[in-house]
Structure 1
C-alpha cells in the first residue's frame, strides 16, 4: 500500500492517478492519451491491466487480463464457469471475448463531478487491487476447468476451499 499521508489531498484525472499509482509500485506501464496499460506479476500469472477513460460518459473502464486463452472446444464449459464465478462477485465481472477466446475481468467506475472528474489515490488503489485480487482468487477455477478436467461446479468448490488455522 502506498503512503496515503502524502497523497491525502491529491486528486488527479483518472489516467493520471493510475499512472502515478503504477509508477509508485515500479510496475511497467505505457500510456497513450486516455489509455494506460500496465503489467503486474501475480501469484498465478502476469496480468495485463488496461484502463480507458471515456470523458464523454465519465466512465473509467478497467480491464485485467489473467493470461488465459480459451480454445474453441472448451468455451461452453468456460461460459458456465464464468456464470458461476460472477455470482460470487460484488464488483466487476469476468467475460470471454468470443472473437479471440481471451478471458478478462472488467469493471467500470463512474467518475462524477461537473468540472472536476478526478480520482483519489484510494480510489485508484481500490480499483486496481480489487481486480488483481479477483483474478488471483478465480484463476485456479478457470485452470481446473480448462486443464484439470473438472466440471465448473467442482472447480469452483475446489478452488474456494478456505483453510483454517496454520500449518
Structure 2
C-alpha cells in the first residue's frame, strides 16, 4: 500500500490518478488518452493492468491479464473453473476471451461526478490491489487445471487450502 503522503493530490481524473499510482510504484506504464496500460510483477506472473475510462457512462473499466493462454482442448475445463472461481468473488469476475484464449480478470467502477469526475487515491488503490489479489489468489487454480491434471473442483480445493503457522 502507498502512503497517501506519497501522492500530492487527493483526487484526480481517473486515468490521471492511475497514472500517478503506477508511477509511485515504479511500474512501467503507457497512457493513450482515456486508456492506460501498466505491467507489474506478482508472485505468480507478470500482470498487464489495463484501465479504460468511458466518460459518457462515467465508468472506469479495469482489466488484469495474468499471462494465461488457454488452448482449445482445455477451454471446457477452464470455463468450469472460471464458474467455480467466480462464485467465490464479491467484486469483478474472471473470463476467457473465446477468440484469443486469453484469461483475464475484469471489474468496473461507476464514478459519480458531473463536470469534474475524479478518483481518489484510496479508490485507485482498492481498484488495482483487489484485481491483483484475486489474480494471485486464483492463479494456481487455472494452472492446476491447465498443467496439473486436476479437475476444476480439485484445483479450487487445492488452491484454497489455507496454510497455518510457519514452516
Aligned equivalents of 2:148, 2:164: Cα separation in 1: 25
Which runs of 5 or more residues in structure 2 are unaligned? none
Contact 2:81–2:142 under 8 Å retained in 1: yes
Given the two structures, how large is their TM-score scaled by the length of structure 2? 0.97
- CA-based RMSD: 1.1
Of stretches 132-141 and 5-14 in structure 1, the one that deviates more from structure 2 is 5-14
Q: Residue 112 of structure 1 aligns to a residue in which SS?
A: coil
Question: What is the Cα deviation at residue 7 of structure 1?
Answer: 4.6
Q: Residue 63 of structure 2 aligns to a residue in which SS?
A: strand
Counterpart residue number, 2:109: 109
Q: Residue 112 of structure 2 aligns to a residue in which SS?
A: coil
Contact 2:27–2:40 under 8 Å retained in 1: yes
Aligned equivalents of 2:9, 2:144: Cα separation in 1: 44
Counterpart residue number, 1:130: 130
Question: What is the Cα deviation at residue 8 of structure 1?
Answer: 8.1
Counterpart residue number, 1:57: 57
Aligned equivalents of 2:153, 2:116: Cα separation in 1: 45
Deviations 1:56-76 (A, max 9, x none): 000000000000000001000
Aligned length: 167
Q: Residue 88 of structure 1 aligns to a residue in which SS?
A: coil
Contact 2:6–2:24 under 8 Å retained in 1: no
> 4+ runs of 1 displaced by more than 6 Å?
none
Q: 1:29 to 1:150 in 2, by over 3 A?
A: same
Counterpart residue number, 2:90: 90
